[in-house]
Amino acid sequence: MKNNTVLKIIFNILLMLLMIGVVVYVIDNSLGDIIAQLLETSLLVAVLVVGLGVVYQMVEGRSIREIAVNFQPKFTSKDGFFASCYVAFYRIISFGTGTLVSEVLFYRKKGLAVSQGMGVTALHMIMYKLAVVFWAVIGLIFQFSYLYTHSPKMIPFIVIGMIITFVIIFVIMVLSVSIKLQVVLTVWASKHIKRQKLRDWVDKCNLQIYSLRDTMQTIVKDRSAVLRIFVWNAAKVFIWLVIPYVALVEAHPLIDFIQTWAFTSFAIVLSGVIPTPAGIGSFEFVYLLLFKPLVGTVDAVSSLLLYRFSSFVLPFLLGMVYVIMEKRKKIKEEIIAVRDESSSSE
């Protein structure tokens, strides 16, 4: 028993060292430019960007809590805050492959069943996409005249992006309501899809849809819950949309606030449906395409890096601190267990 505990301590220490090594590698190779841009930014803008990032995580925490509390009454907004950071950390160090697993695992640690955790994750994603489409539609209404005059070719792409996103949401929701339709599509997929990767993807989607069905059946018992969840998601997305304006207004005092958040919402929507050019992320490509004519290449890139810090790097850093503290706590508990075993054997 004592040997097993010692091995656990060694394993957790090695795992923590491995995580730190991966973090150093990621920061040095992937996040260095973003952090460097923050250090070159004026103190006021840097504080505002960081502040918006923290506020976003707080609102995100509340939006997660509004879903998870239906299954675990003790789940708090603080838990939701750290859930978001925890997932952001594992999303980066696993290069995206551990995102879903880490989120479900966090909910499991907080007392939710695996199926409930998957349902919370699926509904969380759907509400986020709905909020993005909501703000993009409003942005298009306000900026239609400008786009029609200056970039008329962008309008069809934006509209198609919104339609595709909405269709994805609609299909998922229909499948989550109609079990017969899900069974029909599953049978069809099993007959016609032969590639293992696609079959694994279908299986994963089926699990999420089953979990989403149970989640929706639980939440709709409180009719105001769905509206509250959507409102909190709309609020968190709006905070993201404000960041580029904060990053640009110091160098461009006349820049239009509504235009910046509208363009950012277009970039988020289109990033999910436009193929990625070689070596460039889809969001980055669309963002620069929209903002370079407004502020020039240098400032567009600078604002993009600050946006990425607030929405991407900051949650990762907060998640890193949380994970390290949790690992440290676990190692400490195991060391105490070894001491207790040693004292009891004497």
The confidence score (pLDDT) of residue 278 equals: 38
CA distance 167 to 234: 19
Task: Compute the CA torsion angle 15, 21, 24, 28 (nearest 10 deg).
Answer: -140
**pTM reported for the whole predicted model:** 0.82
- Predicted confidence at residue 19, as pLDDT, reads 61
Task: Per-residue pLDDT tens, the chain, 346 aa: give them.
Answer: 555 555 666 655 666 566 666 555 555 555 677 877 888 889 999 999 999 999 999 999 999 999 999 889 999 999 999 999 999 988 888 777 778 888 988 999 999 888 788 888 888 888 999 999 999 999 999 999 999 998 888 899 899 989 988 888 887 777 666 667 666 666 776 676 767 776 776 676 777 676 677 777 777 677 788 889 999 999 999 999 999 999 999 999 999 999 999 999 999 998 877 655 434 478 888 899 899 999 998 899 999 999 988 988 899 889 988 988 887 787 676 666 666 665 555 5
Tell the residue number behind the tokens 């696609």, with chain if given. 198
CA dist 88 and 122 (Å) reads 16
CA distance 316 to 310: 10
Question: Which pLDDT value is given to residue 339?
Answer: 65
Could you tell me the residue ranges of all domains in the chain?
2-345
State the pLDDT at residue 282.
82
